[in-house]
Amino acid sequence: GPVAETFRVIQGAMSDEHVRATQGVFQFELSGDGGGTWYIDLKSKGGSAGFGKAPVPADVVMSMASADFVRMFT
């Protein structure tokens, strides 16, 4: 779905430079289609993004509708 595709694109765009510049872990609690817990880890080496909780504790947790998340990142 659109949420999974958005996270796939985010994962593919990550670089060590993004990790060095950001140093943050973001968790998204999404409701609606494709909802659930998702994360973007821009703190661990190489970065990562995907479904579930981040491998390290989140610095920021955002709750929103999945459609709003997709709009925010597109």
* Per-residue pLDDT tens digits of the chain, which is 74 residues long: 999 999 999 999 999 999 999 999 999 999 999 999 999 999 999 999 999 999 999 999 999 999 999 999 98
pLDDT at 30: 98
Whole-number pLDDT of residue 10: 95
Considering the entire predicted model, what is its pTM?
0.92
**3 state SS for 10-71:** HHHHCCHHHHHHHCEEEEEEEECCCCEEEEEEECCCCCEEEECCCCCCCCEEEEEEHHHHHH
Please tell me the predicted confidence (pLDDT) of residue 5.
96
The domains of the chain, with CATH numbers, are 2-72 (3.30.1050.10)
Residue 72: per-residue pLDDT: 94
C-alpha to C-alpha distance for 16 and 32, rounded to whole angstroms: 32
